[in-house]
Amino acid sequence: MDPFEQLPAILNRRSWLILGLLLLVSLLFRDTTLTLGILCGGLVSIGAFLWLRRSLRQLLEEPGSGSKARYQFGYVVRLIALAVVLAVLIAVVKINAVGLIVGLSVVVINLFWTTIQHSLQR
């Protein structure tokens, strides 16, 4: 199988690994609110990335006149859903903001890691 085709599965596994490592490191601080913030942020980040990947796959697999409009509508829905989830976590649940930001960076860390790894292999 082509390494490019394996990339989504690798990114998915590595995101969960990074989230797990961040959670383990947060346990050293013995701050439950920090750990919970990292967990919530990581779950939101991974969920949003998987949702984006699914939307892009649908766009590429079902080309047609309405596929672009469906993708754009889904993009707006996804953005609103993420805004609502983050607003609820911050305003209602009062989640630890630092932990939430660290958790939200899981996919960013993963993409940087993958980029550096691929650039060193070539």
The per-residue pLDDT for 77 is 95
pLDDT along the chain (122 residues), means of 10: 80 96 96 96 96 88 81 92 96 95 96 92 78
Does a structural domain hold residue 1? no
The per-residue pLDDT for 21 is 97
The per-residue pLDDT for 18 is 97
As given in the structure block, the two tokens for residue 75 are: 């993009």
Q: Domain total for the chain?
A: 1
The per-residue pLDDT for 1 is 66
C-alpha distance across the termini of the chain, in Å: 19
Structural domain harbouring 27: 14-121
Does a structural domain hold residue 23? yes
Backbone φ and ψ for 20, nearest 5 degrees, come out as -60, -40
Does a structural domain hold residue 77? yes
